[in-house]
Each structure stands twice: as C-alpha cells, then as structure tokens.
Structure 1
Amino acid sequence: MPDMIELEQLTKLYDGQSTPAVDSLDLRIAEGEIVILVGPSGCGKTTTLKMINRIIEPSSGIIRLQGEDVTRENPDRLRRRIGYVIQQVGLFPHQTIGRNITTVPRLLGWPQKRIDDRLDELMHLVGLDPSTYRDRFPKELSGGQRQRVGVARALAADPPVMLMDEPFGALDPISRERLQNEFLRLQEEIRKTIVFVTHDIDEAIKMGDRIAILREGSVIAQYDTPETVLAAPADDFVREFIGSGAALKRLGLVRVRDVELEQWPTSPISAGREAALRALESSEHGSLLLLDERRRPLRWAHARELGQPGGSLEDVGLEVRATVEPSATLAGALDSMVGSRVGVVVVVDGSGALLGTVDMRVIMAAVETVRTDAREQVPEEVSAR
C-alpha cells in the first residue's frame, strides 16, 4: 500500500523545555491503516497528532499528505482534508446534531441537497436514526452518542485522513468496548487512514493495524504490527510498557468471528418443557438455551428445572445476559464470560439471533493458535533480538 502520511525529522521545541516535545520523528503511515501512537504520559503523542493538521506548528521537519508537503499549505484548507476526533468531542452546544455534523460541508459551500443526503448517510453509518436525533442538541445525548456524532462530523467531508485523540477515553468500560467494536466495523467499510492516540496498550493492540510505542520526545521504541510487538518486544522499555499477560493480550487480536463457536442445545420457549427436555437429553450438555420466535436467546435452563411439572418457561433458569457480537474480541468475550453466572458467553448477530457460544475451551484453543501463529510470523532477525 502507498504511504498516506510521511513525517520526516518532525520536531517541536517549546520555550523553557530542556528536551524537545517531539524530537526528529520519522514515521510512514500506509493508506487505509489504523496506526496507534501509544506511550507514557507526556511523551509527545498528542503534540505529534496536532502537528499533522498543524493545530500546533512544527519547529522543523516535513509533513507529507498523499505525497504533498503540507507544511506550507494554508492550515485551514489542510484541516478540511483531515477529520479530527477528540476525547471531549467538542460539539457546539447551541447547534443541533445535524448542524454539528455538517459543519465542514457547509463551510465548503456544498449544495443543501448534498448536505442533507450526506447527513442521513453518516447518521445511519454511526448508528443514530436521523429522524430521531437530527434535531436534538448535544446535551440531550449520552456520552457514547455524542462520541458517535463526533466521528460522523469528522467523516462529513469524506477526508482521506482521520486523527483521533483518545476518542473513547472518557466513556465507561461498556460503552467504550461497544464503540471500539462499532468503529472497527465502520473502518471495514470506509478504509480511512487513521492516526489514533491512546495511553492504553490494550486499546492499541485491539484497534491498531500497526503500533508506534513512543519514548519521551516521541522517539519510536518500536513500530510494528500488534502481533510482532507482543511476540518480540524490541527492548526492555517496550516489554515493560506492554506489561505482563502477553498471552491474554493476544486475545485482543482475535475476533469472535475468527474462531469456531461452541454449539449448545436449544429449544423454542414456546415449544414447552417436554420439547426442551428432549433437546437437552439428546446432547452432552447439562443445560440448554431457550429461544424466542426470532432465535434470540432468552434463558439458560437445566434438566432439573425443566423436569418440574407445569408452569411457564418464562421464569425458568437464568436470564441470558452475557452476549457479544462477532466483531467483539476474544478478550472482550472472556471479560463477559468471567462476569457470567454460567461461565459461557452467547454470540448473537446484529438482530440478536443466536450464532453460538464461547466457553473456556474456545478461549484456550484460540490462545494456543495465536501463540503458534505469532512464533511463525515473527521474522528471524526480530526474534533473535
């Protein structure tokens, strides 16, 4: 793939600082990739990001976008070619969601019909119904919804590059996991070149095609795929930054859709107790899933509960709470599994219909596969360090 962004000897000096905030950074980012800048606080991640669209002007060096040196371009014109998403979102509080999203197209003078069509397209893309949310104001939305609006606004003029500065950092863990998964699904469709800043190595492993682990001054300690970074850390700094539990972290590289799911016995809840018991007795499992008419899992039921005479199945067993979609990582599935009262996480499609389950056998098989693949994929010169 051709390089979309090239940084050469990029440097930023601040008055009164003994060392540069960014010190002679060289970095090439391929078209269509998500590259994560990760490192300890104060290492220059955000400064680097802001220099790419010249919110902060570099002291020296070259920034190329699609082969063009943009250090001499009008900064406002440059920023219209780059989407920007920040943790605080930065929506205009007194403008509707629709006007927030269409800020850049309006500045560019797009015809109103084109603006309206683009607005509807983007709101559907990020999972917000235009008829419901178009005329609302930011204060009427949840944090996760506002973050979706921020992503839509960054995409409005269809820029080739997106910069994202800890975009999910202010969200609660559940919303953060959900938005990470949805953004990765979205990236499969839009294939933007994305530079993403985070301080969280687990988020970097999950989100990045490549990871740049930075020392102080944005000096690159290692720039490689998540698989290689985990399997062959470049030095003790990288090894310490990754931390312990590399095998578990590798689960963040594997999607639920990439593994063979376990199949548990099922029965429609409307079919009654006898049908459910027959389905369970013909299997090797001690419990089964009761499904509604659309194959959405409702409850876990054991033989002893199904064998009790009479009564509805609506309250039998335990409600199904631990569910994930195929885009979730195995790390996310394991987290849901640990919190489940049955030790199994149920995999559903976008409509909530059952696809299968993930249990510890699936997890352990995936860990072994990833470990083997990592050993085989790491170049000999890397593994020999």
Structure 2
Amino acid sequence: MTDTTAHDIMIRLDGLSKRYPGQQRDAVASLDLDIRRGEIVVFVGPSGCGKTTTMKMINRIIEPSTGRILLDGEDVTEANPDQLRRRIGYVIQQIGLFPHLTIGENIATVPKLLGWKKDRIAARVDELLTTVGMDPEEYRDRYPKQLSGGQQQRIGVARALGADPEVLLMDEPFGAIDPITRDRLQNELLRLQAEMRKTIVFVTHDIDEAIKLGDRIVILQEGSRIAQYDTPERILTAPANDFVRSFIGRGASLKRLNLTRVADVPLREWPTVDIDTPPEAALEVLRGVPESALLVVDGAGRPVSWLLADDLRAPEGRPLSALGTPIDHTVEPRATLSDVLNELITARHSVSVVLDDTGVARGVIDFDQINETIREMRSVAVGEARAGLAEVGSGAAPQERE
C-alpha cells in the first residue's frame, strides 16, 4: 500500500472482481488499487488482461461481481449508476459523438442532463472548445462528419469534460489515430492536465504511450493481477519481475526518452532574422555565423522559413518573405525527446524549432542535445546500479517503495 492519506486517494478499488456467467475464471480477480487525486494512471498490459473491464467497472458500465469502488471516499458500488456516470467523464477510441447533433450540442450533453441553465451551458461549451484549441465561432455549429478524426477526438475530450468532472476515464482514446495526430493529441492531453489536474485513468496497449502520459503505470497480467504499479522511471529502471521486463521489451534506454520533455532541456540558440530584413543584410548575418541557414521570423517572433546563402543570392528586389523554404518541423515544450527524435530524422538542418503556446520560437533542439541527455541517463543508471549492488553487499534491506 502507499503512504498517502485518505484525502490523497480519489479512486480506491477494494477487492474488485468480475466473473462473467458461464466462465470458470475471473476476468478481474480481487483487484486492490489506490489512484491518487490529480494524477494520470495508465493501465497497460496484454490483450485479455482485464484493463478495459476494470475501467468500465469504475463507472459501472460493467457491474462488479464482488468488491467495492470508492470515489473520493464515498462507496459508490451500490449508487445509482446513471448518477455516478454523470460525475465521471468518459472518452473511448470510437469517440461516439452523436452525428445528428452539432458540436456544441454534443459537448452540452451532460450539462443538459444535470439541468444547467442555457446561458451557463453556452458559456461552458465555448470555454471547452477554446480549451481544446478549437475556435467556438468556427466549430460550435458544425456536425461531427465535418471534422477530421483528430478534431473529433478533441471534441470527445471536451464532451467528457462538459460538467467539469473530477475523474476522467480514457479507453484507448488515440488508438485509431494516425501517429502524427496521436503525438499531438497526447501533448494536448498533457497540456490540459497541467491546467486542470483531473484524476485520469487511461487504458492503452502501448507501453511507450503509457510511459509518456502516466504519472504512474499499472502493468497488468491475466485476470488484472498487478505485475507492477509504479512511476514510469522506476518501471524502466527497476522492473519488478520477468513479466514486466518482457513487456517493456528491448530498448529501455530509448524508452526513457519519453520521460524527458523539451521543457527540461536547455535549448540551443539559432541565428534569426526578422522577415523585413533586407536580403543583403541577412546574407551578412549568415556569413558571420557557423550555421548553414538562418531562421526567419515574423514581427511576433513566429518562425516563417529557413534561408540558405543561395536563397539570398536570388535576383534583387525579392523580399525575405518570397525566399527560402517553409519551416517543416516544430515541437512544443511538452513534447518528449522521443517525439523530437522522430521529427529530427527527416528535419532540415537536423534541428526542430521549439514553439511556446503562442507559436513564438524559443530556440531549437538537435541530435547533440538528445545524445547528451542519453549520456546523462546512462550515467545515472550506472550510479543507481552500483548503489544497488553496494546495498545488497552490505546486507541492507532495499528501501520500501511509495
């Protein structure tokens, strides 16, 4: 058990089990688990381990056979399931937007059921659209079929947050999205969580997604037996058993890149010129720096293009806005170094431009910075391994985990 107080625990599963009629074994067997307030806890494990069944028991879509569910200290095992579900947001892979309702009406579903007044509902809809990065004026009156898959998934999250629930359940929400959009949605979720601090239970089959998103990870074996419940760092550096080691697979060092975010790494400066700079002046700047290109930014500091010397030797009279090549790769501070590594493989000049939330360029990140981070990780891992060996050699008992 953890050393947390009762107030710290938002969800407690106490001896939770599920056995379906006609089956000889439990799908979920006597599961005990505490989920802390304001954390993202990711359930991950092989197919059939019971992770989705466990999630659906939390909001009673599936009724448990035995055991208790406590929500913020309240036993909700026998509560009205419809009332319970209105306290918990739910996001699924298939999204499940109502096709005959507008985006605004979809988001307003639960507030309407709770009897909110129209002006309060309208304000909440616009607030949530803005929160998930979609202009209310542009999207409020559209229908789901008019949105891309990634936009629909954002609306699914907004709808789940409609009544401002303390708990959000997410069942493989990004599993059907293309990899690029999936990375962006993961980063968007982390941005939202930094603002809202919801208690989120997230189900995935992807250990890399679990490492990137989770404050804590539950690795499940068959029957929802917990193989390890720990922080991503500890799971990668101190797997509890052979099952966990096998599930993580090879490349644990690279997986640790999912633990470090761009915001944690000192950014590299890059020679920059304003878009109104005369080409001749820009060429002089380029001649005075070791880099092979200049980064052109607009008046607000947002990146516009890359400029090479050949671009600046173009016929006279052409402004910088008509020269160079568009910016091809940018990353946000919340992106992981694993995200950056994927971007750098195809990026021009082997750098990605780092943007803040307003789109302003704050610097760049490159392979050298990632290599340095990997070297630091290796050094820390070696130190931890030596400390562990020394502890064992001294006969000291290992420290109890949280």
Q: Normalising TM by the smaller chain, what interval?
A: over 0.9
Give the CA deviation at 1:85.
Answer: 0.5
Q: What letter matches 2:130 in structure 1?
A: H
Alpha-carbon distance, 1:317 to partner: 4.5
Output the CA distance in 1 between the equivalents of 2:28 and 2:374: 37
Which whole-Å CA distance do the structure 2 matches of 1:376 and 1:121 have between them? 48
- C-alpha displacement of 1:249: 1.0
Task: After TM superposition, list the pairs within 5 Å mapping 1:72-87 onto structure 2.
Answer: 72-87=78-93
User: 5+ residue gaps in structure 2?
Assistant: 389-397
Partner of 1:336: 343
What residue number does 1:35 align with?
A: 41
- CA spacing shift, 1:79–1:275, aligned 2, 3 Å: same
RMSD of aligned residue pairs (Cα, Å): 2.1
Q: Residue 290 in 1 paired to residue 296 in 2?
A: yes
Secondary structure in 1 aligned to 2:348?
Answer: coil
Paired residue for 1:111, among 88, 111, 117? Answer: 117
8 Å contact 1:24–1:61 — kept in the other structure?
Answer: yes
The residue type paired with residue 367 of structure 1 is: I
Distance 2:381 2:191 in 1: 24
CA-CA distance at 1:157 after TM superposition:
1.1
Q: Does 1:270 align with 2:282?
A: no
Q: How does 1:224-235 map to 2 (within 5 A)?
A: 224-235=230-241
Aligned residue among 162, 167, 170 for 2:168:
162
Shift of residue 311 of structure 1? 5.6
Q: Deviations over 1:40-90 (max 9, x none)?
A: 111111000000001000111111111111111111111111111101111
- Give the aligned residue type for 2:168: M
| Alpha carbons of structure 1 residues 77 and 376: separation in structure 2 relative to 1, 3 Å | farther
Residue 178 (1) aligns with residue 162 (2): no
Distance in 2, matches of 1:35 and 1:233, equals 17
With over 3 angstroms needed to count, the CA separation of the structure-2 counterparts of 1:89 and 1:376, relative to structure 1, is: farther
How big is each residue's C-alpha offset from its partner over 1:241-283, in whole Å with a ceiling of 9 and x where there is no partner? 1111111111111111111011111122431333223222332
TM-score by length of 2: 0.90
Give the secondary-structure state (helix, strand or coil) at the position aligned to 1:148: helix
* Residue 309 of structure 1, CA deviation: 6.2
Q: Give the counterpart of 1:321 among 325, 328, 337.
A: 328
Shift of 1:142: 1.2
> Letter of the aligned partner of 1:163 in structure 2?
L
After superposition, what is the alpha-carbon deviation per residue over 1:333-371, rounded to whole angstroms, capped at 9, x for unaligned? 111111213211111223332111111111112223344
Letter in 2 for 1:29: I
Q: For the residues of structure 2 that align with 1:333 and 1:383, how far apart are their CA atoms?
A: 35
Partner of 1:17, secondary structure, is coil
Question: How much has 1:173 moved relative to structure 2?
Answer: 1.1
Deviation per CA, 1:262-313, whole angstroms, max 9, x where unpaired? 1111122431333223222332323222223332223323345535663634
SS of residue matched to 2:95: coil
SS of residue paired to 2:61:
coil
Instruction: Report % sequence identity.
Output: 60
Match of 1:152 in 2: 158
Q: Distance in 2 between matches of 1:377 and 1:97?
A: 51
- Are the structure 2 counterparts of residues 26 and 317 from structure 1 closer, same or farther at C-alpha, using a change threshold of 3 Å? same
Verify the 8 A CA contact 1:227 1:374 in the aligned structure 2.
Answer: no
1:60 corresponds to 2:77: no
Report whether the alignment pairs 1:214 with 2:223.
Answer: no
Unmatched 5+ stretches in structure 1: none
Per the TM alignment, residue 190 of structure 1 is displaced from its structure 2 partner at its CA by 0.8
Deviation digits for residues 124-154 of structure 1 (CA, Å, limit 9, x no counterpart): 1111222221111111111111111111111
- For this pair of structures, how many residues does the alignment match? 384
Report the counterpart of residue 248 of structure 1 in structure 2.
254
SS in 2 for 1:147: helix
Q: How does 1:129-148 map to 2 (within 5 A)?
A: 129-148=135-154
State the AA in 2 paired with 1:330.
L
User: Which amino acid is 2:198 matched to?
Assistant: K
8 Å Cα contact 1:232/1:383 also seen in 2: no
What is the rounded CA distance, in whole Å, between the counterparts of 2:400 and 2:238 in structure 1?
Answer: 6
User: How far apart, CA to CA, are the structure 2 residues paired with 1:247 and 1:277?
Assistant: 42
Letter in 1 for 2:355: V
Alpha-carbon separation, structure 1, partners of 2:114 and 2:299: 50
Q: Is the 8 A contact 2:328 2:348 kept in 1?
A: no
Q: Which residue does 2:305 correspond to in 1?
A: 299
Residue of structure 2 equivalent to 1:71? 77
Is 1:358–2:365 an aligned residue pair? yes
Is the partner of 1:135 in helix, strand or coil? coil
Match of 1:213, SS? Answer: strand
